[in-house]
Amino acid sequence: MITLAMLYLVTGAVFGAWSILSAADASNPKRWGNAGFWGLLAVSFLAGDAIPDFGNGLIVLALAALAGTGQLGRGAAPSSSAAQRAAFAARFGNRLFVPAIIIPITAFAGTLLYKFTPLGSLGLFEERWVTLILLGLGVIIALAVCMIWLRPRPITVLEEGRRLIDSIGWAAVLPQLLASLGAVFALAGVGEVIGSIAGEAIPAGSPFLAVVAFALGMVIFTMIMGNAFAAFPVMAAAIGIPLLVVAYDGNPAVVGAVGMLAGFCGTLLTPMAANFNIVPAALLELKNQNGVIRQQIGTALPLLVCNIVILYVGAFVLWN
């Protein structure tokens, strides 16, 4: 059986390789910061289960210290020249996107086949993590296709990966840390505290105002945490379940689905959603790292209004 732990081992090995390559990169004035950051992350993936919670906490603090004090930099990783990349593009055209397409197809089609065909009875994958494992397998398959098709040197794969991860920097692991923060908030009872405040502020018998508070809360907490999935447990415990579903008998399916969509409006507005907003700015080398967010404001705000209307109509007007 292929388990999530195996995927973690592969991921940890890649981070470990980047750490070693970073340490050997004399062109990077902050190479030891890069080596330490990716090395600590490798330890977390490779041996996190064997390390006590206190030890894992120290690793997180060390990662934050390295990133917060500006210890990560960019080196001159060996790469193809602009002329070589142009020649590849002219030769292969849009076929170069095939490896990238393999990854989502493997995850999506593989999940459907595993769940709705006899393949699921074989027990090939750890049950709770089928889609995530298939996503990892998709990456491995895509890499194998690249190696057979384009025939790069094996070290080129790691160097190009390091060049990309150096461009992104610490923001690459921000979604993982923020999702953990959401779980901490939920366990700490933040949702209950916000719920008590909202219950006093929202007039009784006003489901529309409760919908507005829920949607705005999803946006605000998503902007803080950078992740709507992290914000949802907090706002569901605060307003979604006790007010919209229990007190006002709203449709729970609509509350959950459209509430998440409202949270995604916050994703468009925050640098904390680094994988969506800061990483593209870094890869495109924009002068303003918030340039992507500025372009998305005109989409996020009208979309939030639409989600509020859909949530109210779908959960209350049509439901009741």
What is the overall mean pLDDT for the chain?
Answer: 87
Residue 45 has a pLDDT of 92
pLDDT digits (tens, 9 = 90+) for 34-80: 999 999 999 999 998 899 989 988 998 999 899 889 899 888 777 77
Q: Can you count the helices (H) and strands (E) in the chain?
A: 14, 0
pLDDT digits (tens, 9 = 90+) for 109-144: 998 988 888 888 888 888 888 888 999 999 999 999
Please report the beta strands in 8-152, taking only residues with DSSP state E, as ranges in sequence order: none
Q: How far apart are CA 162 and CA 157, in angstroms?
A: 9
Asked whether residue 320 carries a pLDDT value surpassing 70, the answer given is no
Q: How far apart are CA 297 and CA 206, in angstroms?
A: 29
CA-only gyration radius of the chain, Å: 23
